[in-house]
Chains A and B, each alone.
Chain A
Amino acid sequence: MLSIKGKRGDAVVRTITLSALEPGRTRLQGEVEAMGGTNVRRCYQCGKCSGGCPASFAMEAQPRQVMRMVQLGDREGALATNTIWLCASCLACTTRCPREVEIAGVMEALRIISRRERRVPSDRNVALFHDIFVDAIRRRGRLNEFELAMRYKLASRNLFADIAQGISMMLRGKLALIPHKYRGRAQVQAIFRRIKEAEVKRS
């Protein structure tokens, strides 16, 4: 009575020419380790991460498989899966990994790499949401959830999706309409500026 939970991720079936990938400790591994601070080579593919991943049912590739792609230096594969965007960073995997690989950290790193390389994110909505979220912080220093919600809906062009909740939230006074105004704002914006400068210097 084995029941398979969730649908299989319908990952595109590809033939990977391993010899064409970087051999040994790949560059991708290097970048990921630099950011995720973890040695992906240690992963021995036991699948404990994926078995306990609450979001894996929606993922095209299991977290374990993404670890594998990183091990092989399969950059395209790793950055193409929606897995890296559907990781909720709940750290169940990291907490349970018998090889002390920080799987969630690796996902985080991959998302950022995909950004750096200006790739089209394999899950536009999630990426878009984060962008708007961060931009909202940049504008005000604090988050105005209502503003966030509205701007996200405009951008993602599904203005009417759970507009009902939005309105009933307002009625419940749950979406503070008054934007915060305060000194911290300037300082937060300074932080954003410094980061931008740093990035410019790097490239």
Chain B
Amino acid sequence: MKYVYYPGCSLGGTAREYGISARAVNDALGLEFQELADWSCCGASSAHMTNLDLALALPVRNLALAEAQGARELVTACASCYQRLAIVAHEVNTHPRARERANQLTGADYKGGVTPRHLLDVLGKDVGVDRVAARVTRPLEGLKVACYYGCLLVRPVKATGFDDPEDPQTMDTLVKAAGAQVVTWPFKTECCGASFSMSRTDVVAGMAAAVLSEAKAAGADCLVTACPMCHSNLDMRQSMAARVARTTFNLPIYYITQLLGLSFGYMPRQLGLNSHFVKALPLLRRLRLV
């Protein structure tokens, strides 16, 4: 399966391991991702905080690029980029005036023919759990996972809508397919405050603490996510969150692609499992998964 792929700014940087593990998983599943030539930042997560025109124009530029090279879908692994692209795509398709405006600003001629999609959606729908399961060589037995979707993947429903906004399932089914055990917990889509990760660390710590506590209470021994923001937040800010909650969490935060990759038999290094703040490997070693 071929897709035009929008990497976004993080997957080269803070989410490096997400980028490489995604590549690994795609290879394993025979997904062909061709990077959108000449892509630019979609504006997340600040453009829409400062200027509506900007929030509109930046994503449309990329949508227009994709359309120009004949793509009907634009896949991204970053939940944040996905949401911005999806919101704007929906906006211009429902309000012709918005489309005109966007085209004026970008100098492009976007017709509205591109549907942004998230990697998770592609794995869940296009590839399908069965084909994922078929590829598993090292089932992640004993791993108790809290699937954390974050707020960006499933909201707003009218723009995203590939899964339920309160109790989504796509990631759960994939993780189960990888042989791990998923815990039922209430904060799957509770926000962790990523947009303040630098500006208001105190707030972030508070929000992250809430999420992590619920995961722990539900008996998870790690979280899995499909969003660089969530990841860097829960991973990098976990110690701080623990201080706020006056407890220790020690919950490794994995990317969905890392867990899948692991179950497909990749080596930890090939999946960037070595570059986490909260050590990612000890748990896996304990469970004899690496």
Chain A residues proximal to chain B, CB less than 8 Å = 6, 35, 54-55, 57-58, 86, 88-92, 94-95, 108, 111-112, 115, 123, 125-126, 128-131, 133-134, 137, 141-146, 148-149, 152, 156, 161-162, 165, 168-169, 172-176, 182-185, 187-188, 190-192, 194-195, 198
Contacts and interface: CB of A to CB of B under 8 A. Distances in A.
A199 B10 CA distance: 30
Contact of B57 (A129, A165, A191): A191
Nearest to B203: A58
Interface string B199-219: 111110011001000000000
Contacts of B181: none
Given A90-B190, A111-B49, A126-B199, 4 more contacts: A123-B199, A145-B14, A183-B38, A184-B39
B104 A188 contact: no
A176 to B, nearest CB: 5
Contact of A129 (B39, B46, B47): B46
Among B53, B157, B165, the one with the most A-chain Cβ atoms within 10 Å of its Cβ is B53
A152 B198 contact: yes
Interface string B1-35: 00000000110111010000000000000000000
Given A128-B199, A134-B54, A174-B13, A168 B277 contact: yes
B151 A92 contact: yes
Nearest to A128: B199
B105 A172 contact: no
B250 interface: no
Contacts of B40: 137, 141-142, 184-185, 187-188
Given A54-B210, A90-B155, A115 B201 contact: no
B43 A169 contact: no
13 contacts: A55-B193, A90-B152, A90-B191, A126-B196, A130-B46, A137-B41, A141-B40, A162-B201, A169-B14, A174-B16, A183-B38, A185-B40, A191-B105
Given A123-B200, A191-B54, A191-B58, A175 B13 contact: yes
Nearest to A59: B203
Contacts of A184: 38-40, 61
Contacts of A191: 54, 57-58, 61, 105-106
B104 A194 contact: yes
Given A55-B203, A88-B195, A188-B58, A95 B38 contact: no
Nearest to A153: B198
A112 B51 contact: yes
Contacts of B47: 134, 137
Among A108, A146, A156, the one with the most B-chain Cβ atoms within 10 Å of its Cβ is A108
Nearest to B43: A137
B190 A125 contact: no
Contacts of A146: 13
Contact of A195 (B38, B49, B105, B166): B105
A22 to B, nearest CB: 23
A112 B52 contact: yes
Contacts of A115: 50-51
A125 B46 CA distance: 13
A195 B53 contact: yes
B189 to A, nearest CB: 8
Given A169-B14, A174-B13, A94 B58 contact: no
Given A55-B193, A191-B106, A94 B51 contact: no
B107 A190 contact: yes
**3 nearest A-B pairs in the assembled complex, by CB-CB distance:** A90-B191, A90-B151, A133-B46
A54 B214 CA distance: 13
B41 A142 contact: yes
Contacts of A187: 40, 61, 106-107
Contacts of A156: 199
A189 to B, nearest CB: 10
Contacts of A133: 45-46
A142 B39 CA distance: 8
A141 B54 CA distance: 12
A90 B195 CA distance: 10
